[in-house]
């Protein structure tokens, strides 16, 4: 009992202090770093939070990570108790959290949703939606291949059978449309480097002549490159991944012939959402709406802009 | 149930004197290889079979250890996470470069991995025997602990071997060959040989099976049940370490998703190999065949041109159940 009273006192004390210390408090709720991409999200959320607090004395940014939807719902409540004016959220599972998000929004809090959207993604759920472009990620890779190797024979390694993977495939097919690019095979590599290694080894057994590998993910590219190196085959001209991990961006930057370009699906988009939220609330700018980030093609010329050597991803 | 001895039952008796449970996985293996050759002639190419055998080395070595744990009536769900944890610590150690010589670094890293693997196994074993907890719960817990520690060490990202000299040297352990045979295959066979000697030729091996068949009887016949179970968990840890030693040189990198679901693959390999999940029998070579079968099924389907990539898991599951049904019908006693 004493503990709960003490806890309540402590909670209200911290509530009072944050509420008075800052004119504007922004809560950032993101998934815990459980794989490469989310570790990038955590890195960039903290990086931009510090940058924002460094440039505004009266803005407080609180970053909270949660491993699953249930704990993220609790984290939202904790943030609410601290009196946030705006919430930036990348939900672990958007449909599971949609009610919790609407609850926050119903209190007049500005809500910016990042990347993962619930089925009813309209202005009753959020004010701003910052989205990555899965279709564009496939399209950019497809267009690059169609432009540079219009007669290429391509093997594709997919992620998992879920909607965002299908969007990437549809984009890729649109990108190569009209060219002579031939897709030899598509198999799932589960966005896992070991599975990608296995699939690539089998592709090399199955096909005598492969020009390009599109594996749409930088983690899988690690396994693909190893399998190619082991086979000592020289028919494969290059591999295209996606997302923008520091290792693959570095290869592009160094002009590695096996990795001429990469396609962005940047975890830094959480930072975009934080900055736009600050701009909206501090600068009285209109930011509500949907902002889709381009799947930018990373080339040796622009790679440096997207290289974060300190990030875990 | 007839008391008369017909010629048919006598044939059945001779057949059952050949231990079908031990032979069945190898029959399944031969059937699969024939099926594979029909699907795609390239399947029987030496390069492909060498690739598949090399790839299954991790699961196969882990399965040898799992055979001991399962035969003694326990279960270890933590092995996949343990692979990730031991491999991550090993790479982090190699990145410190405390010794100038790359060879010295690799050798000490190998020893460190073995020690850490044994310690992880000891941890599982002590909690199960001294703590008197269900192995399912203990190893479910350590599965989370090892996975969580890996995620923490890597901050969710990847841990990559940095020193080029070490990588160049160590790479040979996975990609190199000895008289044309890839090292991982040789090492797996060595582990299986050691495992089968331990299982069938030593008192400890007999004790493992006795403890797995009936703990009470084993205890009354003077076997130190706790110690046998503890050693089985440590053997599991050591085989995980061997798998790590083979795994790290392949990609030179780990991430928080390394080794996910490997525990299920290892357990499946053991069961396909003829070891009873309830304990009391151990088939070391069967587990190796089981691991090879698992990897072959995936390989055959990928090489085929007529199986939709969406159906892969369903067909994989069907083949495993079919294999088990065939095995059961072969081993059914009159």
Task: Report chain B residues whose CB lies below 8 A from the CB of A226.
Answer: 250-251
Q: Cα(A270)–Cα(B184) distance, rounded to whole angstroms?
A: 43
Residue of A226, A230, A312 with shortest CB distance to B156: A312
For A20, A243, B175, B301, B303, the CA distances from A187, given in Å and listed in that order, are 55, 19, 24, 10, 11
Supply the pLDDT for residue B15: 55
B260 reaches A (C-beta below 8 A): yes
The pLDDT tens digits of the residues spanning B189-246 come to 999 999 999 999 999 999 999 999 999 999 999 999 999 999 999 999 999 999 999 9
Q: Cα(B40)–Cα(A232) distance, rounded to whole angstroms?
A: 22
B162 reaches A (C-beta below 8 A): no
With CB atoms and an 8 Å threshold, state whether A312 touches B258: no
Supply the pLDDT for residue B1: 44
Q: Where are the domains of chain B?
A: 22-329
With CB atoms and an 8 Å threshold, state whether A222 touches B299: no
Task: Report chain B residues whose CB lies below 8 A from the CB of A230.
Answer: 175
Torsions phi, psi for B41 (to 5 deg):
-55, -25
* Global ipTM: 0.80
Q: Which long-range contacts (CB under 8 A, 24 or more apart) does B191-197 make?
A: B191/B60, B191/B61, B191/B64, B191/B239, B191/B242, B192/B60, B192/B64, B192/B284, B192/B285, B192/B287, B192/B288, B195/B64, B195/B65, B195/B67, B195/B68, B195/B235, B195/B239, B195/B284, B196/B284, B196/B285
For A71, A75, A88, A266, B199, the CA distances from A31, given in Å and listed in that order, are 10, 11, 12, 15, 46
The chain A residues in contact with chain B (CB within 8 A) are 32-36, 38-40, 42-43, 158, 161, 186-188, 191-194, 197-199, 201-203, 205-206, 219, 222-223, 226, 230, 245, 247, 311-313
Task: Report chain A residues whose CB lies below 8 A from the CB of B158.
Answer: 36, 219, 222, 245, 247, 312-313
With CB atoms and an 8 Å threshold, state whether A202 touches B255: no
The pLDDT tens digits of the residues spanning A177-228 come to 999 999 999 999 988 889 999 999 999 999 999 999 999 999 899 999 999 9
Supply the pLDDT for residue B281: 86
Query: How close B115 gets to chain A, by Cα (Å)?
Result: 25
Handedness of CA B173, B179, B182, B183 (dihedral sign): negative
Residue in the structure block whose two tokens are 């205890």: B219
B167 reaches A (C-beta below 8 A): no
B196 reaches A (C-beta below 8 A): no
8 Å CB contact between B49 and B42: no
Q: Which two tokens stand for residue B43?
A: 């399947």
Q: Which two tokens stand for residue B184?
A: 């991982």
A40 Cβ contact list (under 8 Å, min separation 6): A245, A266, A267, A268, A311, A312, A313, B157
Q: Cα(A114)–Cα(A97) distance, rounded to whole angstroms?
A: 13
For A282, B42, B307, B321, the CA distances from B315, given in Å and listed in that order, are 57, 21, 9, 10
Residue of B158, B260, B302 with shortest CB distance to A187: B302
3-state secondary structure of B307: coil
Rg (CA), chain B: 21
Query: How close B124 gets to chain A, by Cα (Å)?
Result: 24
What CATH number should be reported for the domain whose range is B22-329? 1.10.3470
Angle, alpha carbons A105-A108-A114 (nearest 5°): 40
Q: Cα(B77)–Cα(B58) distance, rounded to whole angstroms?
A: 16
Q: Cα(A165)–Cα(A162) distance, rounded to whole angstroms?
A: 6
Supply the pLDDT for residue A26: 94
8 Å CB contact between A31 and A260: no
With CB atoms and an 8 Å threshold, state whether B302 touches A311: no
For A216, A300, B201, the CA distances from A235, given in Å and listed in that order, are 20, 23, 51
3-state secondary structure of B253: strand
Average predicted confidence (pLDDT) for chain B? 89
Q: Strand A212-214 and strand B177-178: pairing?
A: unpaired
pLDDT in tens, chain B (334 residues): 444 556 666 666 655 556 677 788 888 888 889 989 998 888 988 889 999 999 999 999 999 999 999 999 999 999 999 999 999 999 999 999 999 899 999 999 999 999 999 999 999 999 999 999 999 999 999 999 999 999 899 887 788 898 888 988 999 999 999 998 999 999 999 999 999 999 999 999 999 999 999 999 999 999 999 999 999 999 999 999 999 999 999 988 898 889 989 999 999 999 989 888 888 888 999 999 999 999 998 899 888 887 887 888 888 888 778 877 877 776 664 3
B150 reaches A (C-beta below 8 A): no
With CB atoms and an 8 Å threshold, state whether B158 touches A36: yes
pLDDT in tens, chain A (313 residues): 444 554 554 444 444 444 445 689 999 999 988 778 888 999 999 999 999 999 998 899 999 999 888 999 999 999 988 889 999 999 988 888 999 999 899 989 999 999 988 888 888 899 999 998 999 999 999 999 999 999 999 999 999 888 888 999 999 999 999 999 999 999 999 888 899 999 999 999 999 999 999 999 998 999 999 999 999 999 999 999 999 899 999 999 999 999 999 999 999 999 999 999 999 998 889 999 999 999 999 999 999 999 998 888 8
Q: Please name each of the domains of chain A with its CATH number.
A: 2-132+267-282 (3.40.50.2300), 134-263 (3.40.50.2300)
For residue B147, give the chain A residue with the closest CA: A34
With CB atoms and an 8 Å threshold, state whether A158 touches B309: yes
Query: How close B168 gets to chain A, by Cα (Å)?
Result: 13
Task: Report chain B residues whose CB lies below 8 A from the CB of A313.
Answer: 156-158
Query: What residues pair up with A153 in beta bridges, in sequence order?
Result: A182
Query: How close B294 gets to chain A, by Cα (Å)?
Result: 13
H or E segment to which residue A131 belongs: strand A128-131
With CB atoms and an 8 Å threshold, state whether A247 touches B309: no
Question: Which string of DSSP letters, residue by residue, matches A18-51?
Answer: HHHH-SEEEEEEEE---SHHHHHHHHHHHHHHHH
Q: Cα(B231)–Cα(B69) distance, rounded to whole angstroms?
A: 9
Four-point Cα dihedral B11, B14, B16, B17, nearest 10: 180
Q: Strand B158-160 and strand B253-255: pairing?
A: antiparallel
3-state secondary structure of B159: strand
Supply the pLDDT for residue B5: 55
B312 reaches A (C-beta below 8 A): yes
Mutate to test the interface with B, among A201, A219, A251 (most CBs of B within 10 A): A201
Q: Among residues A256, A237, A222, which one has the least CA distance to residue A148?
A: A237
Task: Report chain B residues whose CB lies below 8 A from the CB of A36.
Answer: 156-158, 255
Residue of B45, B255, B309 with shortest CB distance to A205: B45
B154 reaches A (C-beta below 8 A): yes
Q: Which of residues 8-67 of B touch A (CB under 8 A)?
A: 40, 42-43, 45, 47-48, 51, 55
For residue A197, give the chain B residue with the closest CA: B251
B307 reaches A (C-beta below 8 A): no
């Amino acid at each position: 009992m004493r503990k709960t009273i003490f806890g309540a006192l402590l909670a209200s004390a911290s509530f009072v202090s944050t509420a008075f210390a800052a004119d504007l408090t922004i809560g950032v709720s993101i998934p815990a770093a459980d794989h490469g991409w989310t570790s990038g999200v955590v890195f960039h959320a903290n990086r931009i939070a510090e940058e924002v607090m460094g440039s505004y004395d009266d803005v407080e940014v609180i970053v909270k990570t949660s491993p699953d939807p249930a704990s993220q719902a609790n984290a939202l409540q904790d943030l609410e108790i601290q009196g946030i004016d705006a919430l930036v959220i990348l939900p672990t599972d958007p449909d599971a959290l949609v009610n919790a998000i609407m609850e926050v929004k119903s209190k007049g809090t500005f809500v910016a949703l990042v990347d993962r959207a619930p089925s009813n993604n309209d202005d009753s759920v959020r004010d701003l939606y910052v989205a990555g472009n899965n279709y564009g990620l496939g399209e950019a890779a497809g267009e690059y291949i169609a432009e540079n190797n219009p007669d290429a024979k391509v093997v594709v390694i997919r992620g998992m059978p879920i909607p965002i993977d299908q969007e990437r495939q549809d984009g890729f097919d649109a990108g190569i449309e009209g060219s002579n690019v031939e897709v030899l095979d598509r198999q799932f590599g589960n966005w896992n480097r070991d599975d990608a290694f296995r699939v690539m080894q089998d592709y090399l057994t199955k096909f005598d002549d492969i020009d390009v590998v599109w594996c749409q993910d930088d983690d899988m590219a690690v396994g693909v490159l190893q399998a190619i190196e082991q086979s000592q085959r020289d028919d494969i001209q290059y591999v295209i991944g996606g997302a923008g991990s520091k290792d693959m961006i570095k290869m592009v930057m160094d002009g590695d012939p096996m990795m001429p370009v990469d396609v962005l699906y940047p975890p830094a988009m959480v930072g975009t959402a934080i900055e736009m939220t600050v701009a909206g609330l501090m600068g009285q700018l209109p930011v509500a709406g949907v902002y889709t980030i381009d799947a930018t093609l990373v080339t040796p010329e622009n790679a440096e802009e997207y290289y974060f050597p300190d990030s875990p991803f | 149930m007839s008391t008369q001895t017909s010629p048919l039952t006598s044939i059945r008796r001779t057949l059952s004197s050949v231990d079908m449970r031990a032979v069945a996985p190898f029959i399944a293996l031969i059937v699969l290889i024939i099926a594979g050759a029909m699907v795609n002639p390239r399947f029987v190419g030496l390069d492909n079979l060498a690739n598949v055998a090399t790839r299954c080395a991790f699961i196969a070595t882990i399965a040898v250890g799992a055979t001991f744990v399962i035969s003694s009536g326990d279960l270890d769900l933590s092995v996949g996470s343990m692979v990730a944890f031991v491999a991550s610590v090993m790479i982090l150690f190699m990145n410190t470069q405390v010794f100038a010589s790359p060879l010295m670094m690799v050798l000490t890293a190998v020893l460190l991995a073995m020690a850490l693997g044994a310690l992880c196994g000891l941890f599982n074993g002590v909690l199960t025997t001294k703590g008197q907890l269900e192995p399912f719960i203990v190893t479910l817990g350590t599965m989370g602990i090892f996975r969580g520690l890996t995620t923490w060490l890597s901050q969710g990202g990847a841990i990559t071997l940095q020193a080029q000299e070490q990588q160049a040297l160590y790479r040979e352990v996975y990609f190199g060959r000895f008289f044309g045979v890839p090292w991982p295959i040789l090492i797996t066979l060595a582990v299986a040989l050691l495992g089968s000697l331990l299982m069938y030729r030593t008192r400890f091996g007999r004790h493992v099976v006795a403890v797995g068949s009936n703990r009470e009887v084993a205890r009354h016949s003077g076997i130190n049940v706790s110690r046998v179970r503890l050693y089985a968990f440590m053997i599991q840890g050591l085989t995980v370490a061997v798998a790590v030693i083979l795994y790290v040189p392949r990609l030179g990198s780990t991430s928080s998703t390394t080794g996910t679901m490997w525990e299920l693959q290892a357990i499946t390999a053991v069961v396909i190999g003829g070891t009873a999940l309830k304990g009391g029998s151990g088939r070391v070579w069967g587990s190796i065949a089981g691991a090879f079968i698992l990897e072959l099924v995936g390989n055959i389907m990928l090489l085929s041109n007529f199986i939709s990539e969406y159906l892969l898991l369903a067909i994989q599951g069907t083949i495993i159940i079919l294999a088990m049904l065939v095995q059961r019908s072969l081993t059914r006693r009159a």
